Amino acid sequence: MILHRWFPARRHGDVLAMRTLLEAAISLLLASAKRAQAGARNLWKRLPLSVRGRVYLASRWTGLLHVLSHLATYDETHDLGTFAGNLVVVHQQYSESSADEKEKLEKQFDKIMEGLVMPNGVQKTTRRLRQHSILAKVLADERCRPQKSAITVLDVPSSSGVVALDSIAMLRQYYTIRAYVLGDLCFHIYYDTGRECVFDEDFNLLQVRLGTRFFSIHRGHRSGDVYTPLTAVLLFPLDVVAWFLKKKCVYSQESHTVPLPLIHPDVDAGLRRGDFSLSKVDVFKGIKEHYDLILSFNLLQQNYFPQEQIARGVENLTNALNEQGFLIMGNDTCFSVAQKREGKLVIIKEEGRFSLSLPKALITEIE
């Protein structure tokens, strides 16, 4: 495998035996889940169309659909090719590659980022041009643009920053960018090459290689509305594995660890040019600086966090806006544009009713 060419494995017999046992247990669990899914599919085909809709809604409400989706895609999303330890090779090869090779490496980079789930349950999913169509719609509407010639921008969560490459180019058509800040909780990880473990900046265990796949300690959307008591019960065996690995794979300064940047190589070049700056930002805590424009996509939504936590995040983002500044929030399909007026948010434009998830106490009206 690609990692073994860079770092020779240094496993002790007991560690190898432990990992082999865990890999076998996970494989057995997945095999049982696939048999159950096959039975569910057969049953689904026999159901009348009039009944399927109600069954589908019930499976979403109970969290069963989330469990089935997680298990059905487990092998693909936990393939060793998307193990975060591969970032050391991706970064090394990217700068020296041709355009075609860079395209392949970027696809791998995107899959690696999607497989990284942080302790708060947020995935690092990212890709180029992800917000292009939404930002184009927003900037085409003069009501949604700060009435200044030069602006400061906060992009949070910025993930690898690759989306900002397009966003800053679009914004420069209208403004001089005085500052474009990439805000996130984690900009690099640590890879323990001997034990083949990945840790975040605070040394929390994120991933562990187990044979032909890796195990993710955290699961996406764990605090969101898709995660129910039934979800917790059905996925409990994975929680047991995560608990065991956290006990066994504790970060050690004595191990050989490699710091791996989560910033895309092209964004790193932008940092060196001064196009961007990095800032550790937790939207659920206070944000010190103030901005004319804040972009916040794929974070403050109910599939990630409960309503009260979303409200706290929106309030902190509102406080970080300059008066008359704009907050653009959304996901891949819907968005809202709000302007800060006398400390409150006024919805200027929206698509897909994204504002329904925003705290009503912070919104005074919809234009």
Contact 197, 249 (CB under 8 A): yes
Q: pLDDT digit string (tens) for 144-165?
A: 999 999 999 999 999 999 999 9
pLDDT 10s digits, 28-68:
667 666 676 677 667 667 778 777 777 667 777 787 777 88
Q: pLDDT at position 271, please? A: 97
Question: Are 207 and 245 contained in the same domain?
Answer: yes
Identify which has the larger pLDDT, 228 or 27: 228
pLDDT score at 222: 77
Residues 336 and 350: beta-carbon distance below 8 Å:
yes
What would the two tokens of residue 198 be? 């990945």
Q: Work out the pLDDT band at 75, boundaries 50, 70, 90.
A: confident
Q: Are residues 97 and 155 both part of a single domain? A: no
Same domain? For 28 and 111 the reply is: yes
> What is the widest separation between alpha-carbon atoms in the chain?
67
Do 161 and 230 sit in the same domain of this protein?
no
Identify the domain boundary among 219, 240, 260: 260
Nearest to 347 by CA among 336, 359, 332: 336
Q: What is the pLDDT of residue 204?
A: 96
Does any domain span residue 120? no
Place of tokens 């008591």: 229
- Looking at the structure, tell me whether residues 338 and 211 fall in a common domain: no
The reply to whether 182 and 271 lie within a common domain is yes
Task: For residue 239, tell me if it sits in a domain.
Answer: yes
Give the mean model confidence (pLDDT) for residues 133-137: 95
User: Cα(158)–Cα(238) distance, rounded to whole angstroms?
Assistant: 29
234 and 169 part of one domain: no
Q: Indicate whether 360 and 280 sit together in one domain.
A: yes
Cα separation, 84 vs 18, whole angstroms: 21
358 vs 138, which has greater pLDDT?
138
Residues 279 and 311 in one domain: yes
Read off the pLDDT band of 232 (50, 70, 90).
confident
Q: Which bin fits 121, alpha (ψ -120 to 50), beta or left (φ > 0)?
A: left
Indicate if 179 and 314 belong to the same structural domain: yes
CATH of the domain at 151: 3.40.50.150
Number of domain units in the chain:
2
Give the per-residue pLDDT at 176.
Answer: 98
Which of 224, 243, 260 is the C-terminal boundary of a domain?
A: 260
Of the given ranges (94-98, 227-231, 240-244), which has the lowest mean pLDDT? 227-231
The answer as to whether 122 is a domain residue is no
143 assigned to some structural domain: yes
Question: What are the tens digits of pLDDT across the range 282-312?
Answer: 999 989 999 999 999 999 988 888 888 999 9
Distance CA 187, CA 191 (A): 14
Closest CA to 135 of 177, 181, 172, 81: 172
Across all residues in the chain, what is the average pLDDT? 87
pLDDT at 356: 60
Question: 57-71, 227-241, 268-282 — which is least confidently predicted?
Answer: 57-71
pLDDT higher than 60, residue 1: no
Residue 124 in any domain: the answer is: no
305 domain residue, yes or no: yes
- 9: pLDDT strictly greater than 50: no
The CA-atom distances, in angstroms, between 326 and each of 83, 271, 329 are: 37, 24, 10
| Residue after which a domain boundary falls, among 216, 242, 260 | 260
Q: Is residue 18 in some structural domain? A: yes
Residue 321 has pLDDT above 80, yes or no: yes
Q: Are residues 214 and 288 in the same domain?
A: no
Between 365 and 209, the more confident residue is 209
Q: Is the same domain home to 159 and 307?
A: yes
The answer to whether residue 251 sits within a structural domain is yes
Domain that includes residue 203, residue range:
2-115+188-260
